[in-house]
Amino acid sequence: MLIKRNSNGIDLPFASEITPRHVFESRRDFIRKLAVGSIAGGALLEMASREAFAASSTAQKLVAQPNPAYVVLDKQTSYKDATTYNNFYEFGTDKESPARYASAMKARPWTVSIEGEIKKPMTLDIDSLLKLAPLEERVYRLRCVEGWSMVIPWIGYSLSELIKKVEPNSNAKYVEFVTLADKEAMHGLNRAVLDWPYVEGLRIDEANHPLALLTLGMYGEVLPNQNGAPVRIVTPWKYGFKSAKSIVKIRFVKDQPRTAWNLAAPREYGFYSNVNPQVDHPRWSQASERRIGEDGLFTKKRPTLMFNGYSQVASLYTGMDLKKFF
Ligand SMILES: Nc1nc2c(c(=O)[nH]1)N[C@H]1C(S)=C(S)[C@@H](COP(=O)(O)O)O[C@H]1N2
Ligand SMILES: [Mo]
């Protein structure tokens, strides 16, 4: 297959060369059905027209270099599970709502304003973000505080690349991420579950840790809306809620940011929220987790690992009591 790339790393295939993943998968499924002889002439016709329709899909591919230093070997979560079982409360609080409603959000055009204690405040659009550093594919575990986890091939680059560019001054002790709060597109904002907009934050040294990923895509494509299009953070050693979706503002600040979940329930969700099997949530154990896609009556839960298995971050917390700073 011939692929033309523009300078953003987005490939520009000719229309006839596009094979969106769902077409590819349905084709594979079709071949399988054909093999077991369960498909009739009528269904064949239906398949053909479905393909013609799907060929005009706009799911934009992203070319990224796999970075073997950041690839967990666990089996990857299926694209379907990763895009239909989500937490994105702006679109409703149940797991299916983001996939159902997030298409109302317009992920382009989009700008991210970078402000606060930095020498070079700037507003970047998505094309500039895509060009800021070489795109890498990294397969990370993501562990939700609710007790489930996924393994996702993300696309992006270390957040430190962006931080370097804006030149923080010595007052920049924390980084705050402010996400989209658009009442028109996000019906979840009508309910005061959280104090909107959803805000998250990291200490500056956490934000500068190479694992912290400024994320623009997953599974070889731009981020689906329900996963936080067009730009989110992924901090895999922390519970999933620290990985703020659909970011519109990044602020460098002196004081620890007041983050959405910490504000809503300070005794349950700390600022740090490092994955820690030894510190239980007040209402449930954090010692083990359910891997999405592995559920079955007899499937064993997996033990949760300290820092979600990312022991390279441990030195960020030397001397800190992680029961107190949970
Ligand atoms: N803006 C925003 N970001 C968010 C959330 C949210 O509700 N709103 N939920 C968080 C939670 S609880 C989790 S577990 C992850 C889920 O990411 P995923 O749906 O891509 O797996 O997104 C996080 N980022
Ligand atoms: Mo979560």
**pLDDT tens across 89-136, in order?**
999 999 999 999 999 999 999 999 999 999 999 999 999 999 999 999
| Those residues with Cβ within 8 angstroms of residue 123's Cβ, 6 or more apart along the chain or in another chain | 111, 112, 113, 114
**Whether residue 154 is found in the same domain as residue 96:** yes
Annotated binding residue at 179?
yes
> Residue 201 falls within a domain, yes or no?
yes
Question: Ligand 1 centroid vs 227 CA: distance in angstroms?
Answer: 7
Q: What percent of the chain has pLDDT over 90?
A: 81
**Whether residue 99 is found in the same domain as residue 219:** yes
**Whether residue 91 is found in the same domain as residue 161:** yes
State the average pLDDT over residues 282-302.
94
**Whether residue 79 is found in the same domain as residue 196:** yes
* Ligand lying closest to the C-alpha of residue 245: 1
State the average pLDDT over residues 167-186.
98
| Those residues with Cβ within 8 angstroms of residue 245's Cβ, 6 or more apart along the chain or in another chain | 88, 179, 198, 227, 228, 232
Q: Is 86 in the pocket of ligand 1 (CB under 6 A)?
A: yes
**Whether residue 119 is found in the same domain as residue 54:** no
Annotated binding residue at 67?
no
pLDDT confidence of residue 102? 98
> Residue 290 falls within a domain, yes or no?
yes
pLDDT confidence of residue 59? 74
**Whether residue 264 is found in the same domain as residue 285:** yes
Question: Ligand 1 centroid vs 86 CA: distance in angstroms?
Answer: 7
State the average pLDDT over residues 262-285.
98
**Whether residue 42 is found in the same domain as residue 123:** no
Q: Which of 84, 87, 93 to mutate to test the pocket of ligand 1 (most atoms within 8 A of CB)?
A: 87
**Whether residue 33 is found in the same domain as residue 150:** no
pLDDT confidence of residue 35? 41
**Whether residue 114 is found in the same domain as residue 25:** no
> Does the structure show a pLDDT above 80 at 85?
yes
Q: Is 88 in the pocket of ligand 1 (CB under 6 A)?
A: yes
pLDDT confidence of residue 113? 99
140: β partners: 152
pLDDT confidence of residue 295? 82
> Residue 8 falls within a domain, yes or no?
no
pLDDT confidence of residue 271? 98
Tokens of 220: 């070889």
Annotated binding residue at 244?
yes
> Does the structure show a pLDDT above 50 at 144?
yes
pLDDT confidence of residue 106? 98
pLDDT confidence of residue 58? 63
> Residue 12 falls within a domain, yes or no?
no
> Residue 322 falls within a domain, yes or no?
no
**Whether residue 68 is found in the same domain as residue 136:** yes
> Residue 162 falls within a domain, yes or no?
yes
CA dist list (Å): 221 to 137, 224, 234, 235: 11, 8, 16, 20
CA-CA distance, 133 to 323, in Å (whole number)? 36
Q: Which tops the pLDDT comparison, 237 or 50? A: 237
Question: Ligand 2 centroid vs 49 CA: distance in angstroms?
Answer: 39
State the average pLDDT over residues 287-298.
92
Q: What percent of the chain has pLDDT over 70?
A: 82
Annotated binding residue at 123?
no
Q: Which CATH number covers residue 168?
A: 3.90.420.10
Question: Ligand 1 centroid vs 232 CA: distance in angstroms?
Answer: 9
| Those residues with Cβ within 8 angstroms of residue 131's Cβ, 6 or more apart along the chain or in another chain | 7, 8, 9
23-47 pLDDT, tens per residue?
434 444 443 443 443 444 334 333 3
Check whether the bond before 98 is cis (ω within 30° of 0). no
> Residue 4 falls within a domain, yes or no?
no
The pTM assigned to this predicted structure is: 0.85
* Ligand lying closest to the C-alpha of residue 260: 1
Q: Is 243 in the pocket of ligand 1 (CB under 6 A)?
A: yes
289: β partners: 302
> Residue 11 falls within a domain, yes or no?
no
pLDDT confidence of residue 69? 97
Question: Using 50, 70 and 90 to split pLDDT, how confident is the model at 308?
Answer: very high
> Does the structure show a pLDDT above 50 at 13?
no
Task: Work out how many domains the chain is built from and give that number.
Answer: 2
Q: Whose CA is nearest to atom 11 of ligand 1?
A: 241
CA-CA distance, 19 to 54, in Å (whole number)? 9
State the average pLDDT over residues 241-267.
98
Please identify, among 10, 29, 58, the residue that sits at the C-terminal boundary of a domain.
58
**Whether residue 52 is found in the same domain as residue 169:** no
Q: Average pLDDT, whole number, for the chain?
A: 88
pLDDT confidence of residue 296? 84
**Whether residue 145 is found in the same domain as residue 44:** no
205-228 pLDDT, tens per residue?
999 999 999 999 999 999 999 999
Question: What is the span of the domain harbouring residue 212?
Answer: 62-317
pLDDT confidence of residue 261? 98
